[in-house]
Every structure is written in C-alpha cells, then in structure tokens.
Amino acid sequence: MTEPGQKLNGSEIFFECLRRENVDYIFGYPGGALLKVYETLHDVKDIKHILVRHEQGATHMAEGYARATGRPGVVLVTSGPGATNTVTGISNAYMDSTPMVVFTGQVPSTLIGNDAFQEADIVGITRPITKHNFLVKDVRELATTIQKAFYLATTGRPGPVLVDMPKDVLNAECAFEWPESVEIRGYKPTIKCHANQVQKAAKMIAKAKRPLFYIGGGVITAEASEELRKIAIDQDIPVTMTLQGLGAFPGDHPLSMGMLGMHGTFWANQAVNNCDLLIAVGARFDDRVTGKVDTFATQAFKIHNDIDPTNVDKNIKVDLPVVGDAKDFLASILNELPKSHESRSPWLAQIKAWQEQCPMNYSDGEDSLKTEFVIDEVSRQTKGHAVVVTDVGQHQMWTAQYYKFTEPRSIITSGGLGTMGFGLPATIGAAFGVTDRPVVLFCGDGGLMMNIQEMVTAVYNKVPIKIFLINNSYLGMVRQWQELFHKEKYSFTDLESSNPDFVKLAEAFGCRAICATTQEEARKAISEALAYNDGPTFVEFRVVRKDMVFPMVPAGGSISDMMLARLNPKTMV
Amino acid sequence: MKHLISVLVENKFGTLNRVAAMFSARGFNLESISIGETEDAEVSRMTIVTRGEDRIISQVLKQLNRLVDTIKVTDLTHQPHVERELLLMSLKLTKTAQHEIFELINVFKGKVVDIKQKSITIEVIGSPDKINTAIDLFRPFGIRELARSGAVAIHRGES
C-alpha cells in the first residue's frame, strides 16, 4: 500500500482507494476516457478485473457479487455509451437496495458541456436512480470522494453510488491522502432503534394471539437471520417472507409460511389478513405484497421496522414504527421479550388448516416436463443449499414457491425493477463471490437472450455456474396475463419460431450444453451440472409451454382473494 | 393544505436539481422553490412551498431528509415564522389610470423602481397572499410582465 502523502496520478489514486476499501473484483469494460486507468490496471495484481461484454452485464455481475457476499459490487466503465449502458443495472440495484459503486470515465473537464465525443451527463442521468452520485472535478478530491462513495453505498439502506471521473482528473497528480473517517454533514442513518418503541413492540409480541412476521430483504442485508430464528421459534411466531426476504428464515421449518403477496402461498396471505399482530421487518409494503391496500391486514396491529424512514407509512399506515437497523431491532426485541407468551396453538392450527386446504403442488408426469418439477428437483439435489439466481417472469415466481431456501443470501433476483436479462450476469458475479456453494441460475428463454453475450465471460473465466434455461418458447408471464386478462390475444409473446437453437448457441460460446425433455433426463442433467466445476454448464429444459403460476392475486385485488387455478381448463395444453 | 418548508442544503453543484427532481419523480406538488446563500458559505437555504394532505407532507419531509445533500429540513407551517415574497411588475401607464396606480402602490407599501412615459415598474414585498392580492388589484390596469421570487422564510427570533 502507498504511504499517505506520496505523489500519485488520478488512476493510481483510484486503485489505491479500491485497495483500502478491500475490493477484490472489478467488473468493467475499457474505453477512451479510461485509457489511463487501464494503463495503470495493466500492472495491478491484487485486484482482479473481469472483462464483461456489455456494461449492463457489468452492473448485474456487481449486483450478483454484492448480494451473494454482502460486500459492495464495483463497476468500471467508460464515458458516454459505456456510462448510459449501466442505467438499467444501477436502477435495479437502487430498487433492491444493493451496495454498488459505479465508476464512469468522463470527457476532460474542459470539454464537459460541449457535446464532446462520447460525452453524456451521467451524473444528471443517474441522479434519481442512485443513492448519491459525484462528479470529481479536481484530482485532490478523488480519494475522499471514493471513500464517501463506498461509505454511502454500504451504510444505512444500501444502494448504488456513481462516481464520474473526467479524463484529465485521472491524469493529474497530487499527494495521496486517505482521511481516517468519513464525514458527510447531511447523512446520518439511524441504526439504533428507539428503546421505548422496542419495549412497546416486545409487549405487543408477547400478548398477541395471532402474530405473524413479515420479513423483507432488510433482514438479510442486516445479517439478522439468527435473531429472527430465535424469536420466531421461542415465541411460536410464523414467518412469511417477501421475494427478497426468502432464506432469512429456513424454508423447511414448520413455522415458515413461504412467500406472501401476488404469487405467495394461500396460507401466508390468509395469515396476513387474519393475524392480530403483523411484525414487518426490513420490508416496504410493496404493491406486489399488499395487493389492494384497503383490505391488507385490516385486523392487525402493525409494527414496522425499517432503516429507511421513508418506507414507514408510505404505502400502509402502521401503528408502531421503529426506525433502525433490523439486527438492532430483533436483538433488542430478543432482550425485551418476557419468558412467557400467549398460546399460539389455535393460530398455528388455523394456519395448518389453510395449508391443507390449498397446498402448493403441481400435476406432473414423467413425459411432460414442468418448471415446477425442475426447480423442485434442483432444490432436492442441492438440499436447499445453493445460491439461486433467477431472471424475471414465471420461473422466478416458481423458484420462490418451490425452491426451499434454507439460509440467507441464497436468492438473488431482480425484485423491485423486474429486469429481464439480470439473471445470467448476476449468476456470474455471485459465483466470483461465493465458491463454497453451488451457484445456479433459473432463466427463461426471453431473459436469457437479453444478456446472452455474458456467456463469453462465464466460459472464459471458467466460472462453475449452472445455467438452467427454462424454455417454454413464450414470454410466459406476459402470456399468462394475456390469457387471464387480455382476451387470449397472444400478442408478440410466442417465441417458438424465432428462438435460436439454445444448445448449439451455448456450444458456440464454448460451454458444455445438455438438453432435457423428460423428468428422467432432467434429473440426470441436473446432477451432471452440479457435479461439474471446471466451468459453466448449460442445461436447456424444454418444459410444457402454457403452464401458469398459481396461486395468484390479480393486480389490485385483495390478497385474501386468490385465484387458485386456471379458470378455463381448455386453454391448458 | 399549504406547507412552507425550509431546507438547509450543501451549497454544491446539482443540489437544486436533486431536490426539484425528487419532487417530480415522486409526484409531489411544488408550488415554489427559492434558494440562496446563508451566513455559512458552504450552506444554502431553500424555501419550498408545497401542498398536500398530512400523509403526503410527511413523505415530502422524509424524502427531503433522505437526500444526502440536505442538512436540515424544517416544516415552518405551524411554527412562528416570517414569510416574504418579492414581486416585480411592469404595468401600462396611462394618464387616466396614473392616479389610481400610485394609490395602490401606497396601499401595498410598494416602490416604483422604473418609470417611462407609457410604463411603470414597481416592486412589492409581502406574504404570498399579499402578493396575490396585489396582482389581482393591479391586473385591470394592464400587466405587461411580472416576476415573483417565490417565498423565502425564516424562524422568528427567540424573545
């Protein structure tokens, strides 16, 4: 490491800062404005640079890495188109509160505003989709800005931060300084929960007859699963989780209710609307969770813990807000809870009755391969221990329903933004971060094509990911809505005649590729893929084409009013 | 109802844009926004006039606080405060109306800042309500152009 005070150029300062932030991977793509950085990078040995094939891929890889490890993902791209290509990925990270620092090259500061070659006002463009962003105008501010960027990205409610670095700043020299601590006048996130609020919450929990935990991704970010597990088990409180919260509580435990909301379990949604106490932790009452807000959990006293005060009372008015970190909240609750609590047996029996009334299952047969079966089988073969990445659509919801997530940081999915094309690059990024667990991707045939170029990155770096393509040759979720709500007008969702030969395509990238059309072939392909760790394995599962995700709450409907099966069985085949 | 919000922000490039963009992105009403330097060179004060029911205003305040460049957010609406706005307005000047115009200027304690044969430019300072009334009353004389500063406000001092 360089001693403070030594004279360095902007590019050298850049890497020196990354070292001090313990960055091990950068996902990037070179270009004109970054030539100096890549010149310096040529001799950098302790930070690994992963060359992507599209800047959007870099952002999703960084997000996959961050979600799998809890450490910030780092992206490095050039000015203009390099920078604008990151917009979707930044927006995705913003919606899902993922720590990420995006470095963009910029035209020389003297040319900014002149419509220079490869100039884009990326700070202006990304202002509403970053937690904060910076344009560095002077090399003497570069190090402190980078330090602030990492601090902002990783503290409070995490999120993406962008640092725009003009070419002349990267060339200019100054004495390297690294302040001991970060001071941002207007930024003081509340970590510690208010003691009175916590005491009130603990009292409510002890005396509730029908309590329910509603757990979001905040519990995973805060690494608070252990505290949650203790409270839930000690107190007999069932736990339902959002898409991002899956894995916060073990999915195979009897108190796990699975996911709630639009494609949640029947019993989780019934429990929400019948509980007398709803304890929301690190969740934000998203419209996919609440359905019609007027009918959401109307019988419940609502406690809401979130680190971001803007989430409180945003969509649903709550009775007891507790702003602060989820780990602090749950640990403090654990300390405050009395030994005895109300009996929850009638409540748990009621939930069991709902489970028996409408269990999660699917019809299957040896010859017709269904996505649910594939996910179920992967769940069995990995014993719920894999890091599972999804793309967006039907397979994503089936993954949430049928993969038994047993530990935190196990599902990596685009929840808020719903970005098709997220899956493949995010899987690659996750696999750079996690090497002791299998990393698998479930992806549809629509989404895979949206960032297919990153197959190169996976193959070249011999990343041992399992790419499970769920091919129904439809944009399945859109098709499902067309069938249910749009007069069966299947407008531009049938991809059968335009899709490529996926196995040949994977092979062209140099990837091992297998095709499975029956349950037997699927079982075998999954076990082969899981056994191979010298590079990626691609498996195309040719699944039944018109399967639909149930149960389902139609958009804007009440969550206690779920569609449990297809209305018209004739459209089934 | 109408709310008057005072925001201390970092005196930095792009801060006004961040605040204004947040209002438009979240669909909040933004009636006026004014910004200027304060006694501290690194800090600017923004005065924002917005409208909304309590739930919306509470989100507005929280979203403002959430911006990294905001240092302090105060809803002055229900606190003792002084609120002023500056109106600059140029009117048609005719012999017949001249007398009445000057009378009105006196009523509003306004000032004549420029006068030509056929036009007169005046300034009026007061609460936004007073400015609204002034505009209504001057309108019949023929307003050629007008500019309003938007409200600026500050806490009343301690007694």
Is the preceding peptide bond at A321 cis, omega within 30 degrees of 0? no
Digit-by-digit pLDDT tens for chain A (573 residues) are 788 889 999 999 999 999 999 999 999 999 999 999 999 999 999 999 999 999 999 999 999 999 999 999 999 999 999 999 999 999 999 999 999 999 999 999 999 999 999 999 999 999 999 999 999 999 999 999 999 999 999 999 999 999 999 999 999 999 999 999 999 999 999 999 999 999 999 999 999 999 999 999 999 999 999 999 999 999 999 999 999 999 999 999 999 999 999 999 999 999 999 999 999 999 999 999 999 999 999 999 999 999 999 999 999 999 999 999 999 999 999 999 988 888 999 999 999 999 999 999 898 887 789 999 999 999 999 999 999 999 999 999 999 999 999 999 999 999 999 999 999 999 999 999 999 999 999 999 999 999 999 999 999 999 999 999 999 999 999 999 999 999 999 999 999 999 999 999 999 999 999 999 999 999 999 999 999 999 999 999 999 999 999 999 998 899 988 998 876 555 443
Q: Does B66 touch chain A (CB under 8 A)?
A: yes
By the CB < 8 Å criterion, does A152 face chain B? yes
Say what the alpha-carbon torsion angle A203, A204, A207, A209 is, to the nearest 10 degrees.
-160
Residue A365 pLDDT: 80
A480 flagged as catalytic? no
Active-site position among A477, A548, A552, A562: A477
Size of interface A-B (CB pairs under 8 A): 41
Q: How far is CA A571 from CA A368, A446, A479, A546, in A?
A: 16, 22, 12, 8
Q: Residue B69: its chain A contacts at CB < 8 A? A: 132, 186
Cα separation, B142 vs B138, in Å, equals 7
Q: A62-72 pLDDT, tens per residue?
A: 999 999 999 99
Q: CB contact, 8 Å: B25 with chain A?
A: yes
CB contact under 8 A, A127 and B13: no
Burial tier of A188 (Cβ tally within 10 Å: 0-12, 13-18, 19+): exposed
CA dist., res. A277 & res. A210, Å (int): 6
- Chain A residue numbers with beta carbons less than 8 Å from the beta carbon of B9 are 186
Residues of B in contact with A187 (CB under 8 A): 68
Tell me whether A138 touches chain B (CB under 8 Å).
no
Backbone angle region of A552, left / alpha / beta, with phi > 0 → left and psi within -120 to 50 → alpha: beta
N residues, chain B: 159
The chain B residue lying nearest A133, using CA atoms, is: B68
Nearest-neighbour CA in chain B from A156: distance (Å): 11
CA-closest candidate to residue A163, choices A178, A177, A150, A179? A150
**Does A188 reach chain B within 8 Å, measured CB to CB?**
no
Mutation site, A91, A95, A154, A187, interface B, largest B CB count within 10 A: A187
β-strand partners of B82: B154
Q: B154: part of which helix (H) or strand (E)? A: strand B152-155
For chain B, 159 residues long, give each residue's pLDDT as a single digit of tens: 999 999 999 999 899 999 999 999 999 999 999 999 999 999 999 999 999 999 999 999 999 999 999 999 999 999 999 999 999 999 999 999 999 999 999 999 999 999 999 999 999 999 999 999 999 999 999 999 999 999 999 999 776
**How far is the CA of B37 from the CAs of B11, B21, B147, in angstroms?**
8, 21, 21
Closest CA to A26 of A53, A56, A47, A57: A47
Would you report the helix, strand and coil content of chain B in percent, each value rounded to 5?
Answer: 30, 40, 25
Residue B25 region by backbone torsions, left for phi larger than 0, else alpha for psi between -120 and 50, else beta? alpha
* Facing residue for A313 by CB, picked from B17, B22, B55: B55
The yes-or-no answer on residue A420 being catalytic is no
Active site (annotated) includes residue A118: yes
In contact, A116 and A158? CB cutoff 8 Å: no
Confidence (pLDDT) at A572: 46
Please tell me if residue B58 touches chain A, with a CB cutoff of 8 Å: yes
Q: Is A148 a catalytic residue?
A: no
Helices (H), chain B: 15-25, 54-66, 95-107, 128-138
pLDDT score of A567: 60
Structure tokens at B39: 């006694």
ipTM: 0.90
Is A487 one of the annotated active-site residues of the chain?
no
Average model confidence (pLDDT) across chain A: 96
Contact B122, B105 (CB under 8 A): yes
* Sequence-ordered list of residues with C-beta below 8 angstroms from that of A33, at least 6 positions apart, any chain: A78, A79, A80, A82, A105, A106, A107, A118, A165, A166, A167
Smallest CA–CA distance, residue B54 to chain A, in Å, is 11
Q: Can you give the pLDDT at residue A568?
A: 55
pLDDT at A573: 39
A135 contacts in chain B (CB < 8 Å): 13-14
Name every chain B residue with its beta carbon within 8 A of the beta carbon of A132. 68-69
Backbone angle region of A362, left / alpha / beta, with phi > 0 → left and psi within -120 to 50 → alpha: beta
Nearest residue on chain A to B15, alpha-carbon basis:
A127
Only one residue has tokens 């017709």, namely: A368
The answer to whether B14 contacts A123, with C-beta atoms less than 8 Å apart, is yes
